[in-house]
C-alpha cells in the first residue's frame, strides 16, 4: 500500500514538474541562423585572433558542454529512479536514490529555465540571430 502511495506521489510530482517545464522548453527553442556556419568554420581550425578564440570558446560551450549537462542530468534522474525501485526494502538506498532524483530535477529545471529566460530576453529586446553570440568583426 505504501509503495502505491509513493508511486502515485512521484507520478503527481512528475506531471506538475512537466507542466512547469514545458513552457520553458518551448520558449528556449531557436531557429537555425546565419551565425551557425561561422561557428562551424571555427571548428575547422581557422583560429588566428583573440576574437576567434573567444568565438571558439562560446561555440564549444553552447554546442558541447550545455548538451552534455542535459544528458548528465537526465542520466542521473534515470539512475535515481531505477535505484529507487530496485531497493524497496533498503531505506538508506531509497533516500540516496531520492536525493539523486531531486538533484537531477533541480538541475534540469535550472537548465531549462536558463534556456527559456535567454529566449524571452532575446525576444523582448528583438535580438536576432541564432543561439550563438559571436563578437563583432573589427577592421
The pLDDT of residue 125: 78
Q: Which three cell numbers mark 113?
A: 529555465
The pLDDT of residue 92: 94
Per-domain residue ranges of the chain: 35-124
CA nearest neighbour of 76 among 101, 94, 110: 101
Q: Which residue in the block uniquely carries the three cell numbers 581550425?
A: 45
Instruction: Report how far residue 139's alpha carbon sits from residue 83's, in angstroms, rounded to the nearest whole number.
Output: 58
The pLDDT of residue 77: 92
Tens of pLDDT, residue by residue over 12-70, are: 777 676 666 666 555 555 554 444 445 655 555 666 777 777 777 777 777 778 888 88
The set of residues, in sequence order, having a beta carbon less than 8 Å from that of 139 and lying 6+ positions away, is none
Q: Are 108 and 21 in contact (CB under 8 A)?
A: yes
Q: Helix H segments across 43-90?
A: 50-60, 66-86
CA nearest neighbour of 10 among 111, 98, 79: 98
Q: Which residue in the block uniquely carries the three cell numbers 535550472?
A: 110
* pLDDT value at 75 more than 80: yes
The pLDDT of residue 101: 93
Q: Which residue in the block uniquely carries the three cell numbers 553570440?
A: 133
Measured CA distances, 10 to 1, 16, 59, 96, 114 (Å) = 14, 10, 37, 15, 25
Amino acid at each position: 500500500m505504501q509503495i502505491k502511495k509513493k508511486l502515485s506521489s512521484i507520478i503527481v510530482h512528475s506531471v506538475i514538474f512537466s507542466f512547469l517545464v514545458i513552457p520553458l522548453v518551448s520558449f528556449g527553442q531557436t531557429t537555425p541562423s546565419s551565425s551557425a556556419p561561422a561557428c562551424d568554420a571555427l571548428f575547422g581550425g581557422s583560429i588566428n585572433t583573440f576574437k576567434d578564440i573567444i568565438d571558439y570558446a562560446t561555440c564549444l560551450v553552447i554546442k558541447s558542454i550545455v548538451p552534455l549537462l542535459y544528458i548528465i542530468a537526465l542520466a542521473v534522474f534515470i539512475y535515481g529512479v531505477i535505484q529507487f525501485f530496485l531497493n524497496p526494502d533498503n531505506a538508506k538506498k531509497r533516500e540516496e536514490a531520492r536525493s539523486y532524483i531531486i538533484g537531477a530535477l533541480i538541475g534540469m529545471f535550472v537548465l531549462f529555465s536558463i534556456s527559456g529566460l535567454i529566449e524571452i530576453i532575446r525576444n523582448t529586446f528583438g535580438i536576432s540571430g541564432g543561439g550563438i553570440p559571436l563578437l563583432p568583426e573589427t577592421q
